[in-house]
Structure 1
Amino acid sequence: MKNSNLQSGGRLVLLLMVAVAMSWLALGLVDAAQINITNQCPEVISACQSNQSGTVTCYALAAGTGSQLIDVGTTWLGGLIWGYPGSSASSIDGNNAKPQADLAEITINGFSNTDSYDLSNVNAYNLGLLINPTTIAPPGNRSGLECGTPSCTINNITSFCTPPNSLTSTPGDGCFNVNGTGTTPTSGTEAFDTACPEAISYSNDTTGKVYACPTGSNYEVVFCPENTILQMNKKNIAAEMRPVYPIVPNAMNA
C-alpha cells in the first residue's frame, strides 16, 4: 500500500510539472534556451555543435577563458557538443574529430516540455566535459537526475587508453572506445565506466545517466571542468538519484 501511494504521488508530481511547463509555453513565457560553451583547458580548443540537421558549426575558444554562447531555440533535438585540440574551428575537422571525442548530448523540449541531457563516451574520450543547468525553469529542482550536473574527466589519457581500446590521432586525439556501440558491457567499456561513472560507456548504458530539466532552462557545457570551481560545487548538490521524468536518451551518439 505504501509503494502504491508513493507511485501515485510520483505521478501527481510529474503531471503537475508537465502542466506548469505547458502553461508557461502557452503563455509564451518560455524563452529560447541558451547554452554557454566554456573552455577551462590550458590550451586552445575548437568546440563544435550540431543537431539532427547534421550541420556542424565550430568555434575556437581561447585557453582557460574562451566561451561561446549559442541560442538553440525552444526546441533543439539530438543536440551534440564536442571539442578537439587546436584553433582551426573547421567544420571538416570537427566532423572528423567527432568519432574520436566524448559528447555532451542535449535535447531541448524533446518530450512533454522536458529537456534531457547526458555525457557519452560511446565513441571515445578526448577532453573533460561537464553539463550544468545555469538557470532552472519552474517547477524543476536540482536533485540527482533532475537538473543534475554530470561530469567526466580522465586525467592521463595515454596511460588510461590500453587494449582493447586505442589512441586516435588528429584532429580528435582521443581514446577510441572499441566496444562502445555494442549493447553489452565489455572490458573496454568497463574501463570508461570506471573512469567516468556518470557518462554513458556503451549504447544501452543509460540507467541513472540521463538527466532531465524543464524546458525553459539554460545550460553550460564546460571543457576541462577539473579546472573550474563547478567541479567542487558539484559535490554539494544532493546526490539522490531519482528520475522524475519519463526520459528517452539521445540517439545521436554515433
Structure 2
Amino acid sequence: MARLTFFAVIYCVLVLSHSLIPGVKATTFTVVNKCDYVVWPGILSNAGIPTLSTTGFTLQIGETRIITAPTSWGGRFWGRTHCSQDSTGKFSCLTGDCGSGKLECSGNGAAPPATLAEFTLNGFGGLDFFDVSLVDGYNIPMLVSPQGGTGQNCTYTGCVYDLNGSCPSELKVMSTDGRDGVACKSACEAFSQPQYCCSGEYGTPDTCKPSSYSEVFKTACPRAYSYAYDDKTSTFTCANADYTITFCPSPNTSQKSSQEQTTTQAQNTGTTTTTSPLINSTIVYEGGLDDSAASPSTCTHVFGSHAIAGIVGITMAIWWSWQLF
C-alpha cells in the first residue's frame, strides 16, 4: 500500500511541477493578412528544432490562419510577395523567395530583403524572446502582438510603416515592370561592406554602429531591429503568450493592440501604467519601452515565483512520501 501511495505522490509531483514551469504549453500563432494583395507567408525553424505543420502557405486578402508551435520552438516568419507559378510548375516570388520552387519552403529561409518576425519560445527564465528584424532588409509591413502574456517588456513590436516608397534609390528593389518599389535592401546586402554588415573588424557592438541607412529604418520603425547590434530597443519578452502576426496592419491596429495589452497587464498586476508614445512622421506607437526589461535580473524575477513554488512543493511531497515507508 505504501509503495502504491509513493508512486501516486511522485506522479502528482511531476504533474504539479510541469504545470508550474512557464512556457510549457503550446504556443498559438495567428497569422493575418490585412494587405490589399495576397501574401505567401514562409516559416523557417531554427537549426535542430522540429518544423511546424507548414513551412509556407497562401494567405488571401483578409484571411487568417492559426498555427500551433510546440514548447521551446524557435524560428522565423516572413511574407513573400509577387509570387507566381511558371509553366513547369515552379513557384517563385519577387520578394522573400525561399528558393524551394514550391509553396512550402521546406527548410529554406527568405532571400533578402525581407521583413522577419523572429521567436525563441520558452527561453531563459521560461520567457519567449521575439523581435521584428529589418537587418536583412524590408519587404512588407508587419506587426507582432502578444496575446494573454505577462512581463514588463511584453508588448507589440514591428514595422507598420511602408518603407518601399521612401527607400533610398540605391537600396530599392523595383517591380518587374520597373514602376514601383517592392522591397528595400539593407546596406549590407546592397554594398557588402563590413561596416554595414558588422563583420571583420566591425564584428562587435563597440565597433559596429548605426549607419545613415540603418537610421532610415530605425526612424520609421523604432521598435524593429535596424542593424545587427540593435538589441536594446528591439528585443521583447513575454511569459505564456500567444502571438498575432499581422501583415499590413493599420496604425489604429498597433495603437489598439498596445492599449489592450497595457490594460490587461494593469488589471493582472493591480498597477496603473502610464504610456508614452514613440512617434515618427507617420505612425504613433503607443507604449514606452523599459530599457532594462529584458535583463537577466528581470527574467529571474518573472520566473522566480513559479520556480520557488515548484521546488517547495516537490521537496515537501518527496519528504512526505518517504515517511510512509
Bin of the TM-score, shorter chain as denominator length: 0.7 to 0.9
Q: Structure 1 residues 29 and 169, CA, compared in 2 at 3 Å: closer, same or farther?
A: closer
- 1:193-217 CA deviation, whole Å, 9 max, x = no partner? 1111111100001112100001x31
Q: Quote the sequence identity (%).
A: 29
Deviation at 1:230, TM superposition (A): 2.4
1:113 to 95, 113, 126: 126
TM-score w.r.t. the length of structure 1 is 0.73
| 1:123–1:181 Cα contact (<8 Å) kept | no
Q: Which has the higher contact order (CA 8 A, sep 6+)?
A: 1
Q: Structure 1 residues 109 and 154, CA, compared in 2 at 3 Å: closer, same or farther?
A: same
| 1:122–1:201 Cα contact (<8 Å) kept | yes
CA distance in 1, matches of 2:68, 2:258: 29
Q: Structure 1 residues 147 and 123, CA, compared in 2 at 3 Å: closer, same or farther?
A: same
2:247 to 200, 206, 223: 223
Q: Which residue of 2 aligns with 1:84?
A: 80
Q: Which residue of 2 aligns with 1:104?
A: 117
CA distance in 2, matches of 1:43, 1:240: 32
1:57 maps to 2:105: no
Q: 1:109-148 residue pairs with structure 2 within 5 A?
A: 109-136=122-149, 140-141=150-151, 143=152, 146-148=153-155
Q: Which residue of 2 aligns with 1:152?
A: 159
**Letter in structure 1 aligned against 2:256:** N
| Other structure's SS at 1:190 match | helix
Deviation at 1:25, TM superposition (A): 4.4
| 2:23–2:121 Cα contact (<8 Å) kept | no
1:161 to 163, 167, 178: 167
CA distance in 2, matches of 1:30, 1:121: 30
| Other structure's SS at 1:225 match | coil
Structure 1 gaps, min length 5: 1-21, 248-254
Deviation at 1:98, TM superposition (A): 3.6
Q: Structure 1 residues 213 and 87, CA, compared in 2 at 3 Å: closer, same or farther?
A: same
CA distance in 2, matches of 1:107, 1:80: 9
Q: Which residue of 2 aligns with 1:241?
A: 289
CA distance in 2, matches of 1:112, 1:177: 33
CA distance in 2, matches of 1:231, 1:111: 27
Q: Structure 1 residues 240 and 168, CA, compared in 2 at 3 Å: closer, same or farther?
A: same
| Other structure's SS at 1:174 match | strand
Q: Structure 1 residues 209 and 125, CA, compared in 2 at 3 Å: closer, same or farther?
A: same
CA distance in 2, matches of 1:240, 1:193: 16
Q: Structure 1 residues 226 and 26, CA, compared in 2 at 3 Å: closer, same or farther?
A: same
| Other structure's SS at 1:197 match | coil
**Letter in structure 1 aligned against 2:197:** T
**Letter in structure 2 aligned against 1:223:** F
Q: 1:7-86 residue pairs with structure 2 within 5 A?
A: 23=17, 25-26=19-20, 30-53=24-47, 57-63=55-61, 65-77=62-74, 79-86=75-82
| Other structure's SS at 1:124 match | coil
| 2:38–2:58 Cα contact (<8 Å) kept | yes
- 1:130-159 CA deviation, whole Å, 9 max, x = no partner? 0111121xxx24x5xx1110121233513x
More helix by share: 2
Q: Structure 1 residues 234 and 28, CA, compared in 2 at 3 Å: closer, same or farther?
A: closer
| Other structure's SS at 2:46 match | coil
| 2:156–2:258 Cα contact (<8 Å) kept | no
CA distance in 2, matches of 1:51, 1:155: 27
Q: Structure 1 residues 27 and 204, CA, compared in 2 at 3 Å: closer, same or farther?
A: closer
- 1:152-193 CA deviation, whole Å, 9 max, x = no partner? 1233513x11144232667x9311011363332111111111
CA distance in 1, matches of 2:67, 2:232: 29
**Letter in structure 2 aligned against 1:126:** N
Larger radius of gyration: 2
CA distance in 2, matches of 1:231, 1:97: 25
